[in-house]
Amino acid sequence: MYKKLKTSHKLFYTGRLQLGLFLKGIGLTMNESLKLWRDEFSKFGITLDQFDRQYAYNIRYNYGKEGSCRNFSPYSCMGIIRMPLPATGQTHGCPFMQMSKKECKTILESMFRDSKKNQRVAYQDKCEALAEKGQKHPQIACTLLYNELHDQKYEDAAVRHPCEYFNFSEEEFKLKDAK
């Protein structure tokens, strides 16, 4: 979703909601979130006035600053997996579940190419297997992906929350940078 936002500078409602709550869950403040969305949407041609009238309210709402003042939490993996399928042009849900096996394999291959751990490893077969596994068991495939891309193994059998995955991954990157 983030890649889609950065390339098209727009996401439909469910994608904005899922990504926005994830960004909140990994520590983005409301003001940082407003700036990120405003900056991206302005590249799509949405004026600041349009952004303030049509989109800013939902961001403040997610942070509990508007409407019912309920502080919303990011979706868990199961919440994301249970989302309705995206319509044409929409980007949301679990990538393992929402993408075709071919699309998933392509993205996995780019992740492996970019991974310092796997630069010299033949990864096409691994990507094929992960894409296949992800169609039926996305949380297990996500855990296997984590273990392929990181030195420290994921402690549980299956990833339960995208923010947890991010936090573990971020912690490992910090440890590597400290060395």
Measured from the Cβ of residue 61, the count of other Cβ atoms closer than 10 Å reads 17
Query: What pLDDT is stored for residue 118 in this prediction?
Result: 64
The overall pTM is greater than 0.75: yes
Q: Give the largest Cα separation in the chain, rounded.
A: 52
The predicted-structure confidence for 78-114, as pLDDT tens digits, reads as follows 999 999 999 988 999 999 998 899 999 999 998 888 8
Backbone region of residue 76 per phi and psi (left: phi > 0; alpha: psi in -120 to 50; beta: other values): beta
Kindly report the CA angle at 13 between 7 and 14, in degrees rounded to 5?
A: 95
Residue 9 φ/ψ region, left for φ over 0, alpha for ψ in the -120 to 50 degree band, beta for the rest: left
Say yes or no to pLDDT of 10 above 80. Answer: yes
Name the residue type at position 18. Answer: Q
Backbone angles phi, psi at 75, to 5 degrees: -70, 140
Query: Which of 51-60, 113-122, 155-164 has the weakest average pLDDT?
Result: 113-122
- Residue 121 reports pLDDT greater than 80: no
Express each pLDDT in 25-73 by its tens digit.
999 999 999 999 999 999 999 999 999 999 999 999 999 999 999 989 9
Q: In 10 A of CB 62, how many CB atoms? A: 23
